[in-house]
Chains A and B, each alone.
Chain A
Amino acid sequence: MIFHHLGKYILLLQASFKKPEKFKVYWSEIMREMVSIGIGSLGIVCIISVFIGGVSTVQTAFQLVSNLIPRSIIGGITRDSAILEFSPTITSLVLAGRVGSSIASQIGTMRVTEQIDALEIMGVNAPGYLILPKIIGGVTMFPLLIILSICLSLFGGYIAGSASGAVSSNDFIIGLTTDFNPLFARIALIKALVFAFIITSVSAYQGYYTSGGALEVGQASTRGVVMSCIIILCADYLIAQLML
């Protein structure tokens, strides 16, 4: 069963990456998807990032009770955990819900209302027209969203640390700027690219092979989100294992 789905998924991706009928039409679709995924996700990314950073700082400070450990380490831990894990992974899991369900339900609705059939009748490569712009929109906007998320996490940590008195602003900034490993940033961006591809392609796959009606579209949307989340977590482990 798993190989059946894997085969169909690979064939769908193969069809999606065929040469576009007309680049200009695809370009406007790519722009539309970039706005939808990038600008449309800004609000939720900002909110979760600030809170992730704040909570991370407060909880790290709570556990560092020894006077032998400098308080500035809290800034360092917040930075590394935000860059390595919280921003790329948690943001992607949340975006799997927002972006993934939107893609699966949009394509699924097009399938059950025969809009995809209409594209095929016209001679349009439907997977290419519908899925490729979403994948490109995702892999271009996710890294930017993750960079923004990292910045806002650090900002959230700074505010929470200062406001709660857990760490002084000076100590936090010293922690942030000490012993930074650029590899962590590279890993974060690689995660962003991989997770974006997973969310857009897996959700599109679930939507594309929907059959039935409104109930099945809802089920496809749920499956898209659940599958994306599971695969993201597996990919997260693999990337960590391979790159650290």
Chain B
Amino acid sequence: MIEIKDINKSFGDKQVLKGISAVFNQGMSNLIIGGSGSGKTTLLKCIVGLHEPEKGEVLYSNQNFTAMDFEQRIPIRKEIGMLFQNSALFDSMTVEENIIFPLNLFTEMSLSEKRDRANYCLDKVNLKNTNKLFPSELSGGMKKRVGIARAITMQPKYLFCDEPNSGLDPKTSIVIDELIKDITEENNITTVVVTHDMNSVMGIGDNILFLHNGEKWWQGSNKEIAHTDNPELNSFVFASKFMQAAKEKL
């Protein structure tokens, strides 16, 4: 479980996050949604420690992550897997080398054990026989899946995904969403996904946090989101004609 308390973050004069508190539950796909510039990615980066909030706390299983220094954070970081918006695969390494990279640094596994682990992770994301390919030889969807494989290689307790569907076609987006949901439920991990893709919201949103102008405006599940009377959330969720038509049928 991850708990955030009163997170505030500014860049210069602009306050991007304004006192956000929330709980992200274990075994659930927790979604952070909101329009562009609402502070979703900044909040995610505050949670994983890439940005330091000016005020507030991030608690990983009741351990105050914000109060820790770099060295103290390492044990928690080893339990974190993250899929970046552009996958952030290491260009100079093959798919297999990308996946076994954290194993090389933090485990004493033999090469064959590491290769077995890489094959297992690639199998999980349906990418067999791509071990020797370089990231430049992969499509956008394949890069995302390799990113997920790398994120789960250390068997994390916490999985973070920053806009996993951006730049993907609708079919591949659904494949990625289902993959994230399966991994979350199978391993009982805490997953936090930043997205503005409504298919993801309706498909995997067990717990949804809606941000607007850096503030928390709503929290609930995908079953509740269609029936909310929050005007900002309604205008976000039902922005497309497709969603408006779906709402009329509900």
List the interface of chain A (C-beta within 8 A of B).
Answer: 21-22, 24-25, 109-110, 113-115, 117-118, 120-125
B86 and A121 within 8 A (CB): no
Q: Which parts of B50-82 form the interface with A (CB within 8 Å)?
A: 50, 70, 73-74, 77-78, 80, 82
B37 within 8 A of A: no
B244 within 8 A of A: no
What mask results when residues 172 to 209 of chain B are scored 1 for a CB within 8 Å of chain A, else 0?
Answer: 00000000000000000000000000000000000000
Q: Which 8 A-B pairs have the closest CB atoms?
A: A123-B77, A114-B88, A118-B88, A123-B74, A114-B84, A121-B82, A21-B105, A122-B102
B13 within 8 A of A: no
7 A-B pairs in the complex with CB atoms less than 8 angstroms apart: A109-B91, A113-B86, A114-B86, A118-B82, A120-B50, A120-B77, A123-B77
Q: Name the residue of chain B whose CB is nearest to the CB of A123.
A: B77
Least Cβ–Cβ distance between B108 and chain A, in angstroms: 9
Given A21-B105, A25-B105, A123-B106, decide whether A117 and B84 contact each other with a Cβ distance below 8 A.
yes
Q: Name the residue of chain A whose CB is nearest to the CB of B75.
A: A123
**In the assembly, what is the distance between CA of A21 and CA of B49, in Å?**
19
**In the assembly, what is the distance between CA of A113 and CA of B135, in Å?**
13
A118 and B84 within 8 A (CB): yes
Contacts of A124 in B (CB 8 A): 105
**In the assembly, what is the distance between CA of A122 and CA of B102, in Å?**
7
Contacts of B82 in A (CB 8 A): 118, 121
Least Cβ–Cβ distance between B154 and chain A, in angstroms: 8
B131 within 8 A of A: no
Least Cβ–Cβ distance between B73 and chain A, in angstroms: 7
Q: Name the residue of chain B whose CB is nearest to the CB of A116.
A: B88
**In the assembly, what is the distance between CA of A123 and CA of B90, in Å?**
16
B85 within 8 A of A: yes
Contacts of B70 in A (CB 8 A): 125
B interface, by DSSP: helix, strand, loop or mixed? mixed
A122 and B50 within 8 A (CB): no
**Contact of B106 (CB < 8 Å), options: A21, A109, A113, A117:** A21
B228 within 8 A of A: no
Give 16 new A-B contacts, CB below 8 A, not counting A114-B84, A114-B86, A125-B70. A24-B104, A110-B90, A113-B91, A114-B85, A115-B88, A115-B91, A117-B50, A117-B84, A118-B84, A120-B49, A120-B77, A122-B101, A122-B102, A122-B154, A123-B74, A123-B106
B32 within 8 A of A: no
B88 and A117 within 8 A (CB): yes
Contacts of B86 in A (CB 8 A): 113-114
B225 within 8 A of A: no
Least Cβ–Cβ distance between B133 and chain A, in angstroms: 17
Q: Which parts of B76-123 form the interface with A (CB within 8 Å)?
A: 77-78, 80, 82, 84-86, 88-91, 101-102, 104-106
Q: Name the residue of chain B whose CB is nearest to the CB of A22.
A: B105
**In the assembly, what is the distance between CA of A122 and CA of B76, in Å?**
9
B48 within 8 A of A: yes
**In the assembly, what is the distance between CA of A117 and CA of B160, in Å?**
13
**In the assembly, what is the distance between CA of A236 and CA of B50, in Å?**
39
Contacts of B104 in A (CB 8 A): 22, 24-25
A123 and B85 within 8 A (CB): no
Least Cβ–Cβ distance between B151 and chain A, in angstroms: 9
**In the assembly, what is the distance between CA of A120 and CA of B76, in Å?**
12
Contacts of A118 in B (CB 8 A): 82, 84, 88, 90
Least Cβ–Cβ distance between B112 and chain A, in angstroms: 17
B105 and A121 within 8 A (CB): no
B85 and A121 within 8 A (CB): no
* Interface-centre pick from A21, A123, A125 (highest chain B CB count, 10 A): A123
Contacts of A21 in B (CB 8 A): 105-106
